[in-house]
Amino acid sequence: MVAVPEPVRTTAKEIYAWYEQQKEEHREHLGASQIGHQCDRYLWYVFRWVNLPTFNGRLLRLFGTGKREEPRVYEELRGIGVELHTEDSGKQIECRDASGHFGGSIDGIGRGFPEAPKTWAILEVKTHGSKSYHEVASKGVETAKPQHYAQMQTYMGLMNVERALYFAVNKDTDEIYVEWVHYNEADAKALQTRATYIIARSTPPERLSADPANWVCKMCDFYKTCHHGGWPEANCRTCSHSTPIENGKWTCSLLVGTIDASWQRVGCKDHVFIPPLVPATPVDGGVNYVEYEAKDGTTFKNGPGHTLSASLSNSTKATKLKRKAIGDNNGVPFDDEIPF
Ligand code: SF4
Ligand code: SF4
Protein backbone atom coordinates (compact mmCIF):
# COMPACT_ATOMS: atom_id res chain seq x y z
CA MET A 1 0.00 0.00 0.00
CA VAL A 2 1.26 3.46 -0.87
CA ALA A 3 2.08 5.52 2.22
CA VAL A 4 -0.13 8.59 2.65
CA PRO A 5 2.01 11.67 3.41
CA GLU A 6 1.40 13.35 6.72
CA PRO A 7 -0.62 16.48 5.88
CA VAL A 8 0.60 18.50 8.88
CA ARG A 9 4.22 18.02 7.94
CA THR A 10 3.52 19.02 4.37
CA THR A 11 1.76 22.18 5.50
CA ALA A 12 4.63 23.13 7.80
CA LYS A 13 7.18 22.49 5.07
CA GLU A 14 5.26 24.60 2.59
CA ILE A 15 5.01 27.46 5.06
CA TYR A 16 8.78 27.31 5.70
CA ALA A 17 9.37 27.21 1.95
CA TRP A 18 7.09 30.26 1.53
CA TYR A 19 9.26 32.19 3.96
CA GLU A 20 12.36 31.12 2.08
CA GLN A 21 10.93 32.46 -1.17
CA GLN A 22 10.50 35.99 0.25
CA LYS A 23 13.04 38.32 -1.28
CA GLU A 24 15.88 39.31 1.04
CA GLU A 25 18.17 42.17 0.15
CA HIS A 26 21.34 43.71 1.48
CA ARG A 27 20.76 46.67 3.78
CA GLU A 28 22.03 49.94 2.32
CA HIS A 29 23.51 51.34 5.54
CA LEU A 30 25.67 49.94 8.31
CA GLY A 31 23.10 49.14 11.01
CA ALA A 32 23.14 50.33 14.62
CA SER A 33 21.90 46.84 15.50
CA GLN A 34 25.16 45.39 14.14
CA ILE A 35 27.79 47.87 15.33
CA GLY A 36 28.28 46.05 18.66
CA HIS A 37 29.46 42.87 16.90
CA GLN A 38 32.87 41.72 18.11
CA CYS A 39 34.48 41.58 14.67
CA ASP A 40 35.46 44.55 12.48
CA ARG A 41 35.73 42.32 9.46
CA TYR A 42 32.19 41.07 9.96
CA LEU A 43 30.92 44.67 9.91
CA TRP A 44 32.89 45.43 6.75
CA TYR A 45 31.57 42.32 5.02
CA VAL A 46 28.01 43.37 5.89
CA PHE A 47 28.55 46.93 4.65
CA ARG A 48 30.28 45.74 1.47
CA TRP A 49 27.56 43.19 0.60
CA VAL A 50 30.10 40.37 0.46
CA ASN A 51 27.47 37.65 0.92
CA LEU A 52 23.78 37.70 1.74
CA PRO A 53 23.14 35.37 4.68
CA THR A 54 20.46 32.79 4.02
CA PHE A 55 18.20 31.41 6.75
CA ASN A 56 15.86 28.46 6.77
CA GLY A 57 12.10 29.01 6.86
CA ARG A 58 11.76 28.20 10.54
CA LEU A 59 14.32 30.85 11.50
CA LEU A 60 12.75 33.42 9.19
CA ARG A 61 9.42 32.74 10.87
CA LEU A 62 11.07 33.17 14.27
CA PHE A 63 12.44 36.60 13.24
CA GLY A 64 8.88 37.54 12.29
CA THR A 65 7.63 36.48 15.71
CA GLY A 66 9.89 39.07 17.34
CA LYS A 67 8.62 41.77 14.97
CA ARG A 68 5.00 40.86 15.70
CA GLU A 69 5.53 41.48 19.40
CA GLU A 70 6.24 45.16 18.81
CA PRO A 71 2.67 46.39 18.10
CA ARG A 72 1.50 44.57 21.23
CA VAL A 73 4.10 46.37 23.33
CA TYR A 74 3.11 49.72 21.76
CA GLU A 75 -0.52 49.04 22.66
CA GLU A 76 0.42 48.13 26.23
CA LEU A 77 2.58 51.22 26.71
CA ARG A 78 -0.13 53.50 25.32
CA GLY A 79 -2.58 51.63 27.54
CA ILE A 80 -0.69 52.75 30.65
CA GLY A 81 -0.54 56.33 29.44
CA VAL A 82 2.80 56.59 27.63
CA GLU A 83 2.92 59.11 24.78
CA LEU A 84 4.58 56.95 22.18
CA HIS A 85 5.75 57.68 18.64
CA THR A 86 6.47 54.61 16.53
CA GLU A 87 6.37 53.59 12.90
CA ASP A 88 2.66 52.86 13.37
CA SER A 89 2.18 56.60 14.03
CA GLY A 90 2.84 57.27 10.35
CA LYS A 91 6.38 56.66 9.27
CA GLN A 92 9.52 54.84 10.40
CA ILE A 93 11.75 56.81 12.73
CA GLU A 94 15.08 56.66 10.95
CA CYS A 95 18.38 58.09 12.09
CA ARG A 96 21.70 58.42 10.26
CA ASP A 97 25.12 59.75 11.18
CA ALA A 98 26.76 62.69 9.35
CA SER A 99 28.00 60.38 6.55
CA GLY A 100 24.52 58.98 5.92
CA HIS A 101 25.99 55.45 5.93
CA PHE A 102 25.46 54.51 9.58
CA GLY A 103 22.24 54.39 11.59
CA GLY A 104 18.98 52.52 11.86
CA SER A 105 15.24 52.55 12.47
CA ILE A 106 14.09 53.16 16.03
CA ASP A 107 11.25 51.07 17.48
CA GLY A 108 9.82 54.10 19.21
CA ILE A 109 10.39 57.25 21.23
CA GLY A 110 8.14 58.23 24.09
CA ARG A 111 7.57 59.93 27.41
CA GLY A 112 5.27 59.30 30.34
CA PHE A 113 6.95 56.06 31.42
CA PRO A 114 6.15 55.46 35.14
CA GLU A 115 9.85 55.44 36.13
CA ALA A 116 10.49 58.95 34.76
CA PRO A 117 7.28 60.52 33.38
CA LYS A 118 8.81 63.73 32.02
CA THR A 119 11.79 62.14 30.27
CA TRP A 120 11.84 61.32 26.56
CA ALA A 121 13.30 57.88 25.95
CA ILE A 122 14.16 55.69 22.98
CA LEU A 123 12.18 52.43 23.09
CA GLU A 124 13.92 49.19 22.14
CA VAL A 125 11.80 46.02 22.14
CA LYS A 126 13.47 42.59 22.11
CA THR A 127 12.01 39.12 22.51
CA HIS A 128 14.06 36.38 24.17
CA GLY A 129 13.94 32.66 24.84
CA SER A 130 13.87 31.84 28.57
CA LYS A 131 17.64 31.37 28.97
CA SER A 132 18.52 34.61 27.24
CA TYR A 133 15.74 36.48 29.08
CA HIS A 134 16.95 35.39 32.53
CA GLU A 135 20.51 36.28 31.61
CA VAL A 136 19.56 39.81 30.61
CA ALA A 137 17.26 40.20 33.63
CA SER A 138 19.99 39.13 36.05
CA LYS A 139 23.10 40.73 34.48
CA GLY A 140 21.62 43.77 32.74
CA VAL A 141 21.63 44.55 29.05
CA GLU A 142 25.13 46.04 28.82
CA THR A 143 26.73 42.81 30.06
CA ALA A 144 24.29 40.22 28.75
CA LYS A 145 23.50 41.76 25.35
CA PRO A 146 26.29 44.16 24.36
CA GLN A 147 24.96 44.43 20.80
CA HIS A 148 21.59 45.66 22.06
CA TYR A 149 23.36 48.09 24.40
CA ALA A 150 25.48 49.41 21.50
CA GLN A 151 22.34 49.80 19.39
CA MET A 152 20.66 51.95 22.06
CA GLN A 153 23.79 54.06 22.68
CA THR A 154 23.97 54.71 18.93
CA TYR A 155 20.31 55.74 18.76
CA MET A 156 20.63 58.01 21.79
CA GLY A 157 23.74 59.63 20.29
CA LEU A 158 22.16 60.17 16.88
CA MET A 159 18.79 61.35 18.25
CA ASN A 160 20.26 63.47 21.04
CA VAL A 161 18.18 61.67 23.69
CA GLU A 162 19.56 60.90 27.16
CA ARG A 163 17.61 57.72 28.00
CA ALA A 164 16.54 54.46 26.44
CA LEU A 165 14.00 51.95 27.70
CA TYR A 166 14.98 48.36 27.02
CA PHE A 167 11.81 46.28 26.92
CA ALA A 168 12.54 42.53 27.00
CA VAL A 169 9.82 39.91 26.62
CA ASN A 170 10.21 36.26 27.57
CA LYS A 171 8.71 34.38 24.62
CA ASP A 172 8.08 31.30 26.76
CA THR A 173 6.30 32.92 29.72
CA ASP A 174 5.36 36.44 28.53
CA GLU A 175 7.25 37.90 31.47
CA ILE A 176 8.45 41.48 30.93
CA TYR A 177 11.81 42.92 31.99
CA VAL A 178 12.33 46.66 31.64
CA GLU A 179 15.66 48.45 32.07
CA TRP A 180 16.50 52.12 31.82
CA VAL A 181 19.73 52.70 29.93
CA HIS A 182 21.48 56.05 30.31
CA TYR A 183 23.34 57.75 27.50
CA ASN A 184 27.08 57.21 27.77
CA GLU A 185 28.84 59.74 25.57
CA ALA A 186 32.16 57.88 25.54
CA ASP A 187 30.50 54.63 24.44
CA ALA A 188 28.41 56.32 21.77
CA LYS A 189 31.43 58.17 20.38
CA ALA A 190 33.52 54.98 20.31
CA LEU A 191 30.76 53.24 18.35
CA GLN A 192 30.57 56.13 15.89
CA THR A 193 34.36 56.07 15.48
CA ARG A 194 34.18 52.36 14.75
CA ALA A 195 31.45 52.86 12.15
CA THR A 196 33.43 55.65 10.46
CA TYR A 197 36.49 53.40 10.32
CA ILE A 198 34.52 50.50 8.75
CA ILE A 199 32.86 52.76 6.16
CA ALA A 200 36.15 54.40 5.16
CA ARG A 201 38.09 51.18 4.62
CA SER A 202 38.52 50.01 1.03
CA THR A 203 39.85 46.60 2.12
CA PRO A 204 38.72 44.14 4.82
CA PRO A 205 39.93 44.93 8.37
CA GLU A 206 41.64 42.37 10.60
CA ARG A 207 39.78 39.20 11.48
CA LEU A 208 38.51 38.71 15.00
CA SER A 209 40.45 35.47 14.90
CA ALA A 210 42.71 33.73 12.40
CA ASP A 211 41.57 30.40 13.86
CA PRO A 212 38.62 28.88 11.95
CA ALA A 213 37.79 26.95 15.15
CA ASN A 214 36.97 30.17 17.00
CA TRP A 215 33.35 29.84 18.17
CA VAL A 216 32.31 33.35 17.07
CA CYS A 217 33.65 32.57 13.60
CA LYS A 218 31.88 29.23 13.47
CA MET A 219 28.58 31.03 14.11
CA CYS A 220 29.36 33.82 11.63
CA ASP A 221 27.37 34.36 8.42
CA PHE A 222 30.65 34.90 6.55
CA TYR A 223 32.50 31.87 7.90
CA LYS A 224 33.00 30.19 4.53
CA THR A 225 34.14 33.31 2.70
CA CYS A 226 36.35 34.48 5.55
CA HIS A 227 38.06 31.24 6.52
CA HIS A 228 37.46 28.68 3.79
CA GLY A 229 37.96 30.34 0.42
CA GLY A 230 34.30 31.06 -0.36
CA TRP A 231 33.55 33.52 -3.15
CA PRO A 232 31.99 36.92 -2.53
CA GLU A 233 29.01 38.19 -4.53
CA ALA A 234 29.69 40.27 -7.63
CA ASN A 235 28.02 43.64 -6.98
CA CYS A 236 29.23 47.24 -6.87
CA ARG A 237 30.18 47.08 -3.21
CA THR A 238 32.67 44.26 -3.81
CA CYS A 239 34.11 46.12 -6.81
CA SER A 240 37.41 48.02 -6.64
CA HIS A 241 35.82 50.99 -8.41
CA SER A 242 33.20 51.82 -5.77
CA THR A 243 33.56 54.27 -2.87
CA PRO A 244 31.06 55.45 -0.25
CA ILE A 245 30.69 59.24 -0.35
CA GLU A 246 28.63 61.85 1.54
CA ASN A 247 24.86 61.63 2.21
CA GLY A 248 24.84 57.83 2.17
CA LYS A 249 25.74 57.76 -1.53
CA TRP A 250 28.22 55.69 -3.50
CA THR A 251 30.32 56.61 -6.49
CA CYS A 252 32.00 54.60 -9.25
CA SER A 253 35.40 55.73 -10.49
CA LEU A 254 34.76 54.21 -13.92
CA LEU A 255 31.32 55.67 -14.50
CA VAL A 256 32.51 58.86 -12.81
CA GLY A 257 29.24 59.36 -11.00
CA THR A 258 26.99 58.16 -8.24
CA ILE A 259 25.46 54.70 -8.40
CA ASP A 260 22.11 54.11 -6.73
CA ALA A 261 21.24 51.08 -4.62
CA SER A 262 19.43 49.18 -7.38
CA TRP A 263 22.44 49.59 -9.65
CA GLN A 264 24.82 48.59 -6.86
CA ARG A 265 22.92 45.33 -6.31
CA VAL A 266 23.60 44.33 -9.90
CA GLY A 267 26.93 45.90 -10.84
CA CYS A 268 28.19 46.02 -14.42
CA LYS A 269 30.46 44.14 -16.80
CA ASP A 270 33.48 46.17 -15.67
CA HIS A 271 33.32 44.73 -12.16
CA VAL A 272 36.74 43.96 -10.64
CA PHE A 273 36.82 42.33 -7.23
CA ILE A 274 38.55 44.11 -4.35
CA PRO A 275 41.65 41.85 -4.40
CA PRO A 276 41.64 40.64 -0.75
CA LEU A 277 38.13 39.27 -1.35
CA VAL A 278 39.36 36.84 -4.00
CA PRO A 279 40.35 33.49 -2.48
CA ALA A 280 43.71 33.38 -4.28
CA THR A 281 47.03 35.25 -4.25
CA PRO A 282 47.42 38.34 -6.49
CA VAL A 283 50.54 37.91 -8.64
CA ASP A 284 50.20 40.54 -11.34
CA GLY A 285 47.94 43.27 -12.61
CA GLY A 286 47.30 45.51 -15.59
CA VAL A 287 44.77 47.98 -16.89
CA ASN A 288 41.58 47.01 -15.10
CA TYR A 289 42.51 43.44 -14.24
CA VAL A 290 44.28 41.49 -11.51
CA GLU A 291 45.97 38.15 -12.05
CA TYR A 292 45.77 35.58 -9.26
CA GLU A 293 47.38 32.29 -8.44
CA ALA A 294 45.00 29.70 -7.00
CA LYS A 295 46.04 27.16 -4.36
CA ASP A 296 46.53 24.49 -7.03
CA GLY A 297 49.06 26.72 -8.83
CA THR A 298 46.82 27.70 -11.73
CA THR A 299 46.44 31.37 -12.58
CA PHE A 300 43.46 33.40 -13.68
CA LYS A 301 42.64 37.02 -14.33
CA ASN A 302 39.73 39.01 -12.96
CA GLY A 303 38.51 42.05 -14.84
CA PRO A 304 36.57 43.00 -17.97
CA GLY A 305 37.39 40.66 -20.83
CA HIS A 306 39.10 38.10 -18.57
CA THR A 307 37.94 34.84 -17.12
CA LEU A 308 37.67 33.78 -13.52
CA SER A 309 37.61 30.23 -12.27
CA ALA A 310 34.40 28.25 -12.66
CA SER A 311 33.59 28.78 -9.00
CA LEU A 312 32.26 32.22 -9.85
CA SER A 313 29.73 30.92 -12.33
CA ASN A 314 26.94 30.73 -9.76
CA SER A 315 27.51 34.30 -8.77
CA THR A 316 27.48 35.33 -12.43
CA LYS A 317 24.23 33.49 -12.99
CA ALA A 318 22.68 35.18 -9.98
CA THR A 319 23.80 38.55 -11.30
CA LYS A 320 22.10 37.93 -14.63
CA LEU A 321 18.88 36.97 -12.90
CA LYS A 322 18.98 40.10 -10.76
CA ARG A 323 19.53 42.17 -13.91
CA LYS A 324 16.50 40.66 -15.52
CA ALA A 325 14.47 41.43 -12.41
CA ILE A 326 15.17 45.18 -12.50
CA GLY A 327 14.90 45.54 -16.28
CA ASP A 328 17.29 47.89 -18.06
CA ASN A 329 18.28 49.75 -14.90
CA ASN A 330 16.85 53.19 -15.61
CA GLY A 331 17.47 53.10 -19.33
CA VAL A 332 21.11 52.05 -19.22
CA PRO A 333 21.49 48.81 -21.19
CA PHE A 334 23.42 45.84 -19.86
CA ASP A 335 25.47 43.40 -21.90
CA ASP A 336 24.01 39.91 -22.05
CA GLU A 337 27.35 38.41 -21.17
CA ILE A 338 29.39 39.34 -18.13
CA PRO A 339 32.96 38.77 -19.32
CA PHE A 340 34.65 38.26 -15.97
S1 SF4 B 1 34.41 34.42 10.35
FE2 SF4 B 1 35.30 35.32 12.23
S3 SF4 B 1 36.91 36.70 11.52
FE4 SF4 B 1 35.61 36.20 9.76
S5 SF4 B 1 34.10 37.87 9.66
FE6 SF4 B 1 33.18 36.24 10.85
S7 SF4 B 1 33.68 36.68 13.00
FE8 SF4 B 1 35.04 37.90 11.72
S1 SF4 C 1 32.68 49.34 -12.40
FE2 SF4 C 1 30.59 48.54 -12.53
S3 SF4 C 1 30.48 47.06 -10.84
FE4 SF4 C 1 32.24 48.38 -10.45
S5 SF4 C 1 31.46 50.03 -9.13
FE6 SF4 C 1 31.35 50.73 -11.26
S7 SF4 C 1 29.25 50.24 -11.90
FE8 SF4 C 1 29.70 49.02 -10.08
| 203-221 per-position pLDDT tens digit | 999 999 999 999 999 999 9
How high is the pLDDT of residue 92?
80
Atom 8 (ligand 2) nearest CA: 236
How high is the pLDDT of residue 8?
61
Q: What is 19-85 written as a DSSP string? A: HHHSPP---SSEETTTTT-S-HHHHHHHHTT-------HHHHHHHHHHHHHHHHHHHHHHHTT-EEE
Please give the radius of gyration of the chain, using alpha carbons only, rounded to the nearest integer: 23
Domain ranges of the chain: 24-200, 231-326
Ligand 2 centre from 271 Cα, in Å?
5
Q: What are the phi and psi torsion angles at 301 (to 5°)?
A: -115, 140
Give the ligand 2 atom nearest the CA of 253: 6
Cβ proximity of 239 and 267 under 8 Å = yes
Q: Tell me the CATH architecture of domain 24-200.
A: Alpha-Beta Complex (3.90)
Taking the CA of 224 as reference, the closest ligand is 1
Using alpha carbons, list the distances in angstroms from residue 340 to 149, 254, 290: 43, 16, 11
Ligand 2 centre from 316 Cα, in Å?
14
What is the best residue among 235, 255, 266 to mutate for testing ligand 2's pocket, by most ligand atoms within 8 Å of CB? 255
Query: Does residue 308 or residue 188 have the better pLDDT?
Result: 188
| 228-287 per-position pLDDT tens digit | 989 899 999 999 999 999 999 999 999 888 999 999 998 988 899 999 999 999 999 988
The pTM of the full predicted model, rounded to 2 decimals, is 0.87
Q: Which residues lie below 8 Å from residue 281, measured CB to CB, with a gap of 6+?
A: 292, 293
| 321-333 per-position pLDDT tens digit | 334 433 333 333 3
Ligand 1 centre from 238 Cα, in Å?
17
- 303 burial via Cβ count (<10 Å: 0-12, 13-18, 19+): buried
How high is the pLDDT of residue 4?
64
Average pLDDT over residues 41-63: 93
Atom 3 (ligand 1) nearest CA: 207
Asked if pLDDT for residue 288 goes beyond 80, the answer is yes
